[in-house]
């Protein structure tokens, strides 16, 4: 089963925002590349006609860019069909079974609210639609450890583990995949990639915009659940994992899970929560909401390689830049021979991964100025990749799931281990501190990192100095 290609794609929540913004453009790209050759059956509550669904698909593609291949568009539209009804009414699954016809290996994509995941998965099993099929589950996979364990229990009762694809679109990004490649394709990193040479690690994921029209969702999630526990933790795992025993996604998953298992559970002192001024005025947000739109935390990994090295993670909305960056700061030389060998921010040697919006890897070092004096400047050895023809994460992940390739998806034990780290602070924490739009969050975040320096604030299209 794991190696066979799906012969149908079922999109639950086909009329929703995720399908409109992400999935339709991905399907169009797959059609352009000749990778979409199976029926696409949309399922949702609204009583739409097939024509309305096709118009929605075309609008989603236009909103993401432009329609530049009419043959691919017509091919995609010709594959569509639609089933409407209430997910809690089992008759909709009988209609879906009829719509699938002779398909034996459907992939079911759950682009629906998380509260519906268990009901739909159970109904798929009861209708016989799970036999030979796969299921793609959108994040968040649970709200805490208990709910993640329960959802895993339901999913694994209906589908075998290698047929469950827990999607995190960050793992489909080229720049994220490059972390894994860069670490293990280059021998010069290994001798210094440990507690003896690394002083600290910072990971920042910042956005200039607010919650926009997603206030209702954000009220149920917050930054810690929405971004830190999944996206940023996955980046930590790629940076901190041991070399896999062989080239295969099973070995990678095993090593990533070990990282989460070695993470020290968070305590309230490890966490700073913030909320941008004006969040209470957003649509569907409670006037007394304490939900965080910014989160900064200090993390320790109690493994042989990383014991004692602090990892600082932060993410937030309404910050000065939209960027995603990793900074691995190296310890200073054991003896300071030159008076100027340390720059003003105290950060002489580091490795920087700029992950978004552009992709780059930079290595920082001190270089002597010409002349008799031993005075230097801070410089970066800089590599940039434009990646103009890069696949979108959803195109890559959809194609992989339909092909049965689980390399870029998360597994049961990994999800639960990550939830176990944040579980202690999901409800036991200090109130969210207000911060002004366009700033880097509340001042308490600076105090959190102060024992090991200052935050590195990403700049747009950062170039060599």
Q: Annotated active-site positions, please? A: 231
Separation between Cα atoms, residue 384 and residue 239, nearest integer Å? 19
Write down the H helix ranges in 128-242.
145-158, 174-185, 215-223, 233-240
CA distances from 79 to 219, 396, 457 (A): 37, 19, 46
Cβ pair 276, 266 in contact under 8 A: no
Cβ pair 464, 379 in contact under 8 A: yes
Separation between Cα atoms, residue 80 and residue 43, nearest integer Å? 11
Cβ pair 214, 289 in contact under 8 A: no
Give the closest residue to 463 by CA, choosing from 388, 383, 396, 394: 383
Separation between Cα atoms, residue 429 and residue 267, nearest integer Å? 8
| 350-354: long-range contacts, CB 8 A cutoff, minimum separation 24 | 351/327, 352/325, 352/326, 352/327, 352/328, 352/380, 352/456, 353/175, 353/178, 353/179, 353/182, 353/325, 353/326, 353/328, 354/175, 354/323, 354/324, 354/325, 354/458, 354/462
Position of tokens 């002192």? 269
Pull the structure tokens for residue 134: 């796969």
Separation between Cα atoms, residue 11 and residue 81, nearest integer Å? 10
């Amino acid at each position: 089963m794991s190696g066979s290609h799906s012969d149908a794609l079922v999109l639950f929540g086909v009329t929703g925002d995720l399908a409109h913004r992400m999935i339709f453009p991905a399907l169009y790209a797959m059609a352009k590349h000749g990778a979409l050759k199976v029926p696409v059956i949309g399922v949702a509550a609204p009583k739409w006609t097939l024509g309305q669904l096709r118009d929605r698909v075309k609008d989603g593609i236009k909103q993401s860019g432009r329609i530049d291949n009419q043959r691919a568009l017509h091919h995609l539209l010709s594959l569509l069909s639609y089933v409407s009804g209430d997910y809690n009414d089992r008759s909709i699954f009988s209609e879906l079974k009829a719509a699938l016809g002779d398909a034996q290996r459907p992939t079911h994509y759950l682009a629906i609210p998380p509260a519906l995941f268990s009901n739909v998965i159970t109904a798929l099993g009861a209708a016989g639609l799970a036999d030979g099929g796969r299921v793609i589950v959108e994040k968040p996979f649970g709200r805490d450890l208990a709910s993640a364990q329960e959802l895993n229990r339901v999913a694994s009762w209906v589908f075998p583990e290698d047929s469950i694809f827990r999607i995190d679109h960050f793992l489909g990004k080229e720049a994220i995949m490059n972390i894994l490649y860069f670490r293990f394709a280059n021998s010069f990193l290994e001798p210094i990639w440990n507690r003896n040479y690394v002083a600290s690690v910072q990971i920042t994921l910042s956005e200039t915009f607010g919650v926009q029209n997603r206030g209702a969702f954000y009220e149920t999630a917050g930054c810690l659940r929405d971004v830190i526990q999944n996206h940023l933790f996955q980046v930590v795992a790629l940076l901190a994992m041991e070399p896999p025993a062989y080239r295969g996604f099973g070995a990678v998953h095993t090593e990533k899970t070990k990282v989460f298992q070695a993470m020290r559970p968070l305590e309230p002192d490890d966490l700073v929560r913030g909320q941008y001024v004006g969040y209470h005025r957003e649509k569907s947000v409670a006037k007394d909401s304490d939900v965080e739109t910014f989160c900064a935390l200090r993390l320790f990994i109690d493994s042989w390689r990383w014991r004692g090295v602090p990892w600082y993670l932060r993410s937030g909305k309404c910050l000065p830049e939209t960027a995603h960056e990793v900074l691995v700061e190296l310890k200073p030389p054991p003896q300071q021979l030159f008076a100027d060998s340390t720059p003003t921010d105290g950060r002489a040697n580091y490795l920087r991964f700029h992950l978004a919006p552009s992709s780059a890897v930079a290595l920082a070092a001190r270089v002597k100025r010409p002349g008799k004096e031993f005075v230097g400047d801070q410089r970066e050895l800089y590599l940039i990749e434009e990646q103009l023809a890069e696949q979108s994460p959803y195109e890559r992940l959809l194609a992989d799931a339909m092909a049965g390739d689980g390399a870029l998806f998360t597994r049961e034990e990994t999800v639960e281990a990550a939830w176990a780290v944040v579980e202690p602070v999901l409800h036991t924490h200090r109130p969210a501190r207000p911060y002004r739009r366009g700033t880097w969050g509340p001042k308490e975040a600076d105090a959190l990192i102060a024992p090991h320096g200052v935050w590195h604030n990403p700049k747009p299209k950062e170039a060599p100095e």
